[in-house]
């Protein structure tokens, strides 16, 4: 029975480009797991989008003298370029600035209100008399009342790391250059998370067996230490989603849903938008009202608490009210009529990737930018290093010398050369065909059978690591198997054997080709571009993976560009994650190298670009 797998990936914020730390933190691991489950024949939906509301993008627009919409779209376009370039196969990568996301977020708000989980409260906020409006926390800077640091943001001090109470900030000043500020009362909606704390604890306990220790530990520790406290879910801001209060409720037209509250709802709204653009209104419910669906959230460690505690709390909080409000008359669903929303299955959050021993910093250009790196390196070379170096259990470090070494010693020497030399040798000596007679089975020796059994067992061992989202280990396991094939070739040396007994050499070549054909599938989730190329050398008609493309969606807010993925249609094969069935005598295509060896000079050139 195919499983329904939702791959939900952190929504990048629209005020900076994506760097390698973002890619290895969430987008790439999500893509690897999505591709694996698609090969397994599972029903996969992978979504994310641009987080386009909130104050940082408004500040960026002020600074650049552009409209907020122009700024968010500028970064959104660069995200689409990166994901296409790296082969991050989103079924839908959209944005939070859509009519659909507005509607879904407002329905979540109303469902929480209906269930008695919202309350209104006045609090003090900095107000600018000169521009006649409240300033969001991030607009206000001043002196930290804890450590005395002069450049503290009103809600957080980057010097001592404390979360600040904005009204206690000393010497407040507006980032926009407004004159003197004063504290005024403003009313906001809060969600009372304390009522949901026991449910969240149960949720975490149920998932303890398969959640990463880093993720579970941090979440439980935080709840034990601080408890789940009420949080404001509205803000004084022009840009964003209107608060769904009854018409005529004075004062709310200048307030919006708080971005932390609505952006996370994208995990629900994006599948709904995907259903709309693909013309299958209720399809999203296969992943969202089906308790058997497995939802994976790929995020960085800075977002763990939101995804393991606050987001599940919201989902439990809306109960069946969301469906009643959002879609009172849903059509029949193949998975039955689930009334409540499905909770996350796993949150395999990654730690951070540093760069040459220092924290990545966009503003100081201490970064390897996603788009820029693609102008000099092939996507699979980057994907390989970002996977072997993925910060799964602890922070990792991007080191240019290591990038070159691992590319040359592992990707090129162990895997690329293996595939290339066996295919080239076979193509030349067997007239472009797999050794053996068409229609006849190859009679293999014990050593050949043993090798194939070892390689084919990789579908279990590599697969088990992928299921558990241990991607470094999964890729390491596949690379180990490539080494085993290299050893087998060294032992059987078909290049000399062919001079004495071509039939014996043919058995070795056939066995090695079949092993490579299987390894190709195991490597495919990690190295999709080169595995597709290799698949072409084997002259298969149906590609391994489908295609990415962009599309424009129109709604009442205007139009937005989305990234899509068209899955390859396989008539007869439900799973592609299985051993090769390579036939003797099969016609091959002219092979060529899969990877490029990198010069040592790359290391200094790249290091020289940093921090400039």
Residues contributing to the site for Zn ion (CB under 5 A): 144, 146-147, 149, 157, 159-160
Structure tokens of 134? Answer: 């409240």
* Contact between residue 219 and residue 309 where contact means Cβ atoms under 8 Å apart: yes
Which C-beta is closer to Zn ion: that of 144 or that of 353? 144
Considering the complex, what minimum distance in angstroms separates the CB of residue 160 from Zn ion? 3
Which C-beta is closer to Zn ion: that of 171 or that of 491? 171
Cα gap 273→266, rounded to integer Å:
10
Considering the complex, what minimum distance in angstroms separates the CB of residue 166 from Zn ion? 13
Residue with tokens 């190859």: 442
Residue with tokens 């407004």: 178
Specify the DSSP element, H or E, that contains 125: strand 118-128
Beta bridge partners of residue 562, listed in sequence order: 551
Closest listed residue to residue 118, CA positions, set 136, 127, 106: 106
Considering the complex, what minimum distance in angstroms separates the CB of residue 152 from Zn ion? 5
Beta bridge partners of residue 124, listed in sequence order: 185
Which C-beta is closer to Zn ion: that of 5 or that of 164? 164
Beta bridge partners of residue 184, listed in sequence order: 125
The length of the chain, given as a count of residues: 612
Which C-beta is closer to Zn ion: that of 137 or that of 555? 137
Considering the complex, what minimum distance in angstroms separates the CB of residue 149 from Zn ion? 4
Specify the DSSP element, H or E, that contains 107: helix 99-114
Ramachandran quadrant class, 185 (left: phi over 0; alpha: psi -120 to 50; beta: rest): beta
Considering the complex, what minimum distance in angstroms separates the CB of residue 144 from Zn ion? 3
Strand 4-9 and strand 43-50: the pairing is parallel
Give the contacts of 554 (CB within 8 A, at least 6 positions apart). Answer: none
* Contact between residue 41 and residue 394 where contact means Cβ atoms under 8 Å apart: no
Closest listed residue to residue 451, CA positions, set 506, 489, 503: 489
Which C-beta is closer to Zn ion: that of 157 or that of 522? 157
Which C-beta is closer to Zn ion: that of 144 or that of 411? 144
Which C-beta is closer to Zn ion: that of 159 or that of 361? 159
Cα gap 66→349, rounded to integer Å:
35
Cα gap 240→98, rounded to integer Å:
10
Considering the complex, what minimum distance in angstroms separates the CB of residue 155 from Zn ion? 12
Eight-state DSSP code of residue 145:
T
Which C-beta is closer to Zn ion: that of 121 or that of 159? 159
Considering the complex, what minimum distance in angstroms separates the CB of residue 521 from Zn ion? 53
Which C-beta is closer to Zn ion: that of 162 or that of 561? 162
Which C-beta is closer to Zn ion: that of 162 or that of 290? 162
Considering the complex, what minimum distance in angstroms separates the CB of residue 146 from Zn ion? 5
Cα gap 28→567, rounded to integer Å:
18
CA distance to 13, 104, 278, 418, per residue, from 325 (Å) = 29, 10, 23, 58
Which C-beta is closer to Zn ion: that of 169 or that of 522? 169
Considering the complex, what minimum distance in angstroms separates the CB of residue 126 from Zn ion? 18
Rg (CA), the chain: 27
Task: Output helix, strand, coil percentages for the chain, rounded to the nearest 5.
Answer: 45, 15, 35
Considering the complex, what minimum distance in angstroms separates the CB of residue 161 from Zn ion? 7
Cα gap 516→477, rounded to integer Å:
14
Which C-beta is closer to Zn ion: that of 168 or that of 221? 168
Considering the complex, what minimum distance in angstroms separates the CB of residue 145 from Zn ion? 8
Which C-beta is closer to Zn ion: that of 130 or that of 171? 171
Considering the complex, what minimum distance in angstroms separates the CB of residue 361 from Zn ion? 19
Cα gap 201→69, rounded to integer Å:
39
Considering the complex, what minimum distance in angstroms separates the CB of residue 143 from Zn ion? 9
Q: In what order do the strands lie in the sheet with 133-134?
A: 133-134, 118-128, 182-191, 231-232
Which C-beta is closer to Zn ion: that of 6 or that of 157? 157
Closest listed residue to residue 420, CA positions, set 318, 557, 538: 538
Considering the complex, what minimum distance in angstroms separates the CB of residue 227 from Zn ion? 24
Three-state SS annotation for 236-301: ECCCCCECCCCCCCCCHHHEEECHHHHHCCHHHHHHHHHHHHCCCCCCCHHHHCCCCCEEEEECEH
């Amino acid at each position: 029975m195919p499983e329904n797998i939702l791959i939900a990936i952190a929504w990048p914020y629209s005020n900076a480009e994506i760097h390698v730390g973002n890619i290895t933190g969430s987008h790439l691991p999500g893509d690897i797991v999505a591709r694996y489950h698609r090969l397994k024949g599972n029903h996969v939906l992978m979504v994310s989008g641009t987080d386009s509301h909130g104050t940082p993008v408004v500040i960026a627009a002020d600074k650049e003298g552009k409209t907020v919409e122009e700024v968010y779209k500028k970064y959104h376009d660069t995200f689409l370029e990166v994901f296409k370039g790296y082969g991050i196969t989103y079924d839908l990568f959209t944005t939070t600035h859509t009519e659909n996301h507005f509607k879904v977020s407002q329905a979540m708000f109303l469902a929480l209100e209906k269930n008695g989980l919202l309350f209104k409260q006045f609090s003090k906020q900095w107000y600018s008399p000169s521009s006649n409006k409240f300033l969001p926390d991030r607009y206000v800077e001043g002196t930290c009342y804890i450590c005395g640091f002069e450049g503290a943001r009103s809600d957080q001090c980057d010097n001592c790391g404390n979360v600040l109470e904005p009204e206690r900030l000393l010497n407040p000043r507006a980032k926009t250059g407004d004159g003197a500020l004063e504290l005024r009362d403003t009313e906001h909606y809060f969600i009372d998370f304390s009522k949901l704390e026991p449910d969240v604890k149960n949720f975490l306990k149920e998932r303890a067996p398969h959640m990463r220790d880093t993720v579970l530990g941090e979440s439980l520790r935080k709840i034990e230490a601080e408890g789940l406290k009420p949080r404001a879910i509205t803000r004084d801001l022009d840009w964003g989603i209107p608060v769904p209060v009854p018409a005529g409720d004075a004062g709310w037209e200048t307030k919006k849903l708080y971005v932390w509250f609505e952006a996370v709802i994208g995990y629900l709204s994006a599948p709904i938008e995907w259903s709309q653009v693909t013309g299958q209104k209720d399809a999203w419910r296969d992943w969202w009202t089906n308790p058997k669906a497995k939802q994976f959230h790929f995020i960085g460690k800075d977002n763990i608490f939101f995804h393991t505690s606050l987001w599940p709390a919201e989902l439990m909080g809306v109960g069946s009210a969301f469906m009643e409000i959002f879609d009172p008359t849903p059509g029949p669903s193949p998975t039955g009529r689930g009334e409540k929303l499905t909770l996350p299955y796993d949150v395999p959050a990654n730690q951070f990737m540093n760069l040459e021993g220092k924290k990545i910093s966009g503003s100081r250009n201490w970064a390897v930018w996603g788009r820029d790196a693609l102008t000099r390196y092939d996507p699979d070379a980057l994907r390989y290093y970002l996977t072997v170096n993925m910060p799964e259990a602890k922070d990792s470090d991007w080191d240019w010398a290591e990038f070159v070494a691992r590319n040359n010693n592992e990707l090129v020497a162990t895997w690329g050369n293996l595939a290339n030399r066996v295919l080239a040798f076979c193509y030349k000596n067997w007239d472009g065909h797999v050794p053996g007679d068409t229609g006849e089975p190859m009679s293999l020796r014990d050593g050949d059978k043993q090798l194939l059994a070892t390689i084919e067992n990789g579908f279990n061992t590599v697969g088990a690591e992928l299921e558990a989202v241990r991607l470094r280990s999964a890729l390491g396991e596949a690379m180990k198997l490539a080494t085993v094939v290299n050893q087998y070739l060294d032992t059987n040396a078909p290049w000399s054997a062919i001079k004495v007994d071509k039939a014996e050499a043919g058995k070795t070549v056939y066995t090695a080709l079949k092993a490579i054909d299987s390894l190709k599938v195991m490597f495919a989730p990690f190295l999709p571009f080169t595995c597709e190329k290799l698949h072409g050398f084997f002259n298969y008609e149906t590609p391994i993976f489908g295609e990415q493309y962009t599309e424009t969606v129109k709604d009442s807010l205007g139009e937005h560009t989305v990234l899509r993925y068209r899955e390859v249609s396989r008539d007869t094969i439900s799973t592609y994650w299985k051993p090769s069935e390579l036939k003797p005598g099969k016609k091959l295509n002219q092979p060529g190298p899969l990877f490029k060896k990198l010069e040592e000079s790359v290391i200094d050139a790249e290091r020289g670009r940093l921090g400039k």
